Amino acid sequence: MEFLDVVRRRKTTNGPFLPDPVSEEHQRLLMELAGRAPSQLNSQPWRFVLIEDRQTIETIARISGDSMTEAMSNGTFFERYKPYFRFSAAEMEARRDGMLFDKLPAPLRPFTGQVFTKRGQKVMNTLRVPQTLGEENRKLVAGSPLLLGALLDRTEYRPGELSSFYSVFSLGAALENIWLATVEVGLGIQFVSFPMEVPGQWARIEALLEVPDGLELMAVFRLGYLPPEQRRPAIDWSSHQRKLPSQYVFRGTCRAPQQGWDEPLPTP
C-alpha cells in the first residue's frame, strides 16, 4: 500500500478479530519496525512482550472487562472523560474532536443528555450498561489472538526528569510504527487501557507478565487480523473526525492560525 494511504487509513479497531494466530513473520515485522523508531541519544528505551498464551489472554481479558465495569459503574470514567464524549453528529462537527457515540441501543438513546448526571449514572447502572460493556470488552480481549505489552526501561523512564519525557516520546514513535504496520498487513489494533483506570488492576497484569523491577509496563494492546466485514458492538463510537489545520497549525507565532489549508489535499 502507498505510504500516505497507510497513514490515512490507520485507525483503532473497536470490533472483533479473526481467531487466526498472527503469523510469526508479521510479529517479527512489527517488532523490527518498532525498533526503527527515533529515540533520544539512540537509547531505544522500549521493550515489548508478545502474549499468545490463551490462559494469560483470558486472565487479562477478565481484568480488562471487570475494570471497565467498575470504572463505569462508580462514575470515575464518565467524570474523568466527559469533555471527550459527543452524542450527535452536529456536536462532533462543531468540535471535530472526541468520540462520537453513534451506536447505542434504543433504550439508552433518550438518556444521552443525562449521562454525566447522578440520575443518568443511576439509569445506566439500573440498565446494567457497565456490566454489558465490561462483558463485551472481556470478550473482545479474550477473542484476540495476540496481546502486546509495551514497556519502558526504568533507567530511561524516571518520572519527573526530562529523560522520562524523552522515553515516553520515543515509545510513542515506536508504537506509531507498529500501528502503521498493522494497516499494511491487514491487522487491527486496540489499546486495552481500562485496567489503568482502576487502582490495583494494572499491577495484576504486571505480575502476570512477570515485569521485572527494571521495567515499567506502559500500555497493552490487542491485535488480530481484521474480518472482511467488521461487526460493530452494541454500544460503539467513531472517532475518525479530525480538527482542521486552521484549528491546530499556526504560522509564524502561536497567535496566527494557518490560513487556506482546510480543504483536503488532492491525493497524489
Q: Which residues here bind ligand FMN, judged by CB under 6 A? A: 11-12, 99, 190-191, 193, 239
By beta-carbon proximity to ligand FMN, the closer residue of 99 and 226 is 99
Residue 121 Cβ vs ligand FMN, minimum distance, rounded to whole Å: 20
Residue 13 Cβ vs ligand FMN, minimum distance, rounded to whole Å: 8
By beta-carbon proximity to ligand FMN, the closer residue of 58 and 176 is 176
Residue 191 Cβ vs ligand FMN, minimum distance, rounded to whole Å: 3
What is the per-residue burial (b if ≥16 Cβ within 10 Å, else e) of 34-59?
beebebeeeebbbbbbebeeeeebee
Which residues sit opposite 99 in a β-bridge?
85
By beta-carbon proximity to ligand FMN, the closer residue of 116 and 191 is 191
By beta-carbon proximity to ligand FMN, the closer residue of 145 and 195 is 195
Residue 125 Cβ vs ligand FMN, minimum distance, rounded to whole Å: 21
Q: Output the CA–CA distances (angstroms, integers) from residue 19 to 64, 68, 144, 198, 223, in the order listed.
A: 19, 23, 7, 29, 10
Helix (H, G, I), strand (E, B) or coil at 176: helix
